[in-house]
Chain A
Amino acid sequence: QSVLTQPPSASGTPGQRVTISCSGSSSNIGSNAVNWYQQLPGTAPKLLIYSNTQRPSGVPDRFSGSKSGTSASLAISGLQSEDEADYYCASWDDSLNGVVFGGGTKLTVL
């Protein structure tokens, strides 16, 4: 049981816009930044979004993040086949004094 809650799966067709939600509480998302990671099969995770909305250099602007209260979302527009991967949200938790992750969302491009 993960501290942050994500839907286990999401899907879309090429060109569509997909959003993945991440729900937490006042001790994590409610008071700390959210980061998002993309994990392609058999590879290490890659930072996709940091500080709720910021994209590292090299990450396409098709990927965007938002946060409101104790929830956050990752949006992927213009969906492409190479976006098929697992996506994880993460945040610091002040009560646990550590980083907490969502359980991950497997994105399928139909």
Chain B
Amino acid sequence: QVQLVQSGAEVKKPGASVKVSCKAFGYTFTSYYMHWVRQAPGQGLEWMGIIDPSGGSTSYAQKLQGRVTMTRDTSTSTVYMELSSLRSEDTAVYYCARDRAFDIWGQGTMVTVSS
């Protein structure tokens, strides 16, 4: 069964970093790009960036350049999204989503930034 399983909820203090994982099941991991999307409480969807699991190349949203890093581990079919210098505005549910059409989504990971 094709699915994406994300790591659990996180609570972080302002200025800290968070690393969220997304493990792929049921398909060839290196054949599909992976995106990260976030959704602040009560708000809409925001694209964060994309990673090519095959070669590892990335492209990030301008707004997050310098704070976000996406990596992958082909041995475990897992992609990671790390966000640094966290602020309260980064409080959101973070999703991984597969391929250009976002045809498969992870279940979401709640990240709360609070002092």
Contact = CB atoms under 8 A, between A and B. Distances in A.
A47 B6 CA distance: 18
Given A44-B95, A44-B108, A97-B59, A102 B103 contact: no
A101 B46 contact: yes
A100 B37 CA distance: 11
A88 B59 contact: no
Given A44-B107, A45-B95, A90-B102, 9 more contacts: A2-B44, A46-B105, A47-B101, A51-B101, A92-B100, A96-B62, A98-B50, A99-B47, A99-B50
Interface in A58-110: 88, 90, 92, 96-104
A98 B105 CA distance: 18
Contact of A45 (B47, B59, B105): B105
Q: How large is the interface on A (under 10, 10 to 19, 20 to 34, 35 or more residues)?
A: 20 to 34
Interface of A: 2, 35, 37, 44-47, 50-51, 56, 88, 90, 92, 96-104
A44 B105 contact: yes
B21 to A, nearest CB: 16
Given A101-B47, A102-B44, A45 B61 contact: no
Contacts of B101: 35, 47, 50-51
B45 interface: yes
7 contacts: A37-B102, A44-B108, A45-B102, A96-B61, A97-B59, A98-B49, A101-B47
